[in-house]
Chain A
Amino acid sequence: GQQLNQSPQSMFIQEGEDVSMNCTSSSIFNTWLWYKQDPGEGPVLLIALYKAGELTSNGRLTAQFGITRKDSFLNISASIPSDVGIYFCAGFSSNTGKLIFGQGTTLQVKP
């Protein structure tokens, strides 16, 4: 079945550093979503991508929908302590009607 490989699994960085994480799949997706989960809470949508090649920013966050439609990345610039949490990618396929989540990237930021 469809699977998403999200990497890295975890990151421990210094405040102010930039962060990059990505999701790849052997399957094509029509929509890519990036969520953030704060400790003890549910995931919250950060960015939604609807077209291959699309590059979208939300403050210090930038995400891209890969040209092949099989991958997406999320960048966080100038990280701050409140960026701590688990970041999930999710891909939606209109062919299967399924929304698949990646395994998550746990981000820790050292002040």
Chain B
Amino acid sequence: NAGVTQTPKFQVLKTGQSMTLQCAQDMNHNSMYWYRQDPGMGLRLIYYSASEGTTDKGEVPNGYNVSRLNKREFSLRLESAAPSQTSVYFCASSEVVRGSSNSPLHFGNGTRLTVT
């Protein structure tokens, strides 16, 4: 049972380059999320998708775009990477939006991105 799978695990980009982080879940969850983790700042929500066909901004959406390709897949795109986007990115999924009472988040293992 794979759960939430993220690719790639590591990536180095130069400033201005673009890339897409992929995420897929096999738990038939409705909601999917992208977080970034920075030292001393916990996990901050970038974008989320409450259900297939919908996406919404989180706390720190600037510089990112997302696509909910189908129920299983939710991708995060950096159109023009900046050093401030160096971070660890986590995809997560849950039964209902925002990890409410009966549906805590399930996380992938992260993508470690460095922008030089």
Q: Report the minimal beta-carbon distance from B98 to chain A, rounded to whole angstroms.
A: 5
Complex A-B: 6 CB contacts under 8 Å: A9-B40, A40-B109, A99-B99, A101-B43, A102-B42, A103-B42
| B42:A101 contact, CB within 8 angstroms | yes
**Residues of B near any A CB (own CB < 8 A):** 4, 40-45, 90, 92, 97-101, 104-110
Q: Which residues of B contact A44 (CB under 8 A)?
A: 107
| B100:A31 contact, CB within 8 angstroms | yes
| B99:A33 contact, CB within 8 angstroms | yes
Q: Report the minimal beta-carbon distance from A12 to chain B, rounded to whole angstroms.
A: 17
CA distance A31 to B101 in the complex (A): 6
Kindly identify which residue among B41, B44, B101 contacts A92, using a CB–CB cutoff of 8 Å.
Answer: B101
Quick one: given A45-B104, A88-B42, are A98 and B90 in contact (CB under 8 Å)?
no
Q: Report the minimal beta-carbon distance from A40 to chain B, rounded to whole angstroms.
A: 7
What number of A-B contacts does a CB cutoff of 8 Å give? 60
Quick one: given A48-B104, A88-B43, A103-B40, are A41 and B110 in contact (CB under 8 Å)?
yes
| A45:B105 contact, CB within 8 angstroms | yes
Q: Which residues of B contact A97 (CB under 8 A)?
A: 97-98, 100
**Residues of A near any B CB (own CB < 8 A):** 4, 6, 9, 30-31, 33, 35, 40-45, 48, 50, 88, 90, 92, 94, 97-99, 101-104
CA distance A99 to B100 in the complex (A): 8
Q: Which residues of B contact A90 (CB under 8 A)?
A: 43, 99
CA distance A90 to B94 in the complex (A): 15
| A42:B107 contact, CB within 8 angstroms | yes
Most-contacted residue by chain B among A44, A45, A99, A101 (CB, 10 A): A99
CA distance A97 to B59 in the complex (A): 13
Q: Residue on B with the closest CB to A31?
A: B101
CA distance A99 to B42 in the complex (A): 12
Q: Report the minimal beta-carbon distance from A5 to chain B, rounded to whole angstroms.
A: 11
| B43:A43 contact, CB within 8 angstroms | yes
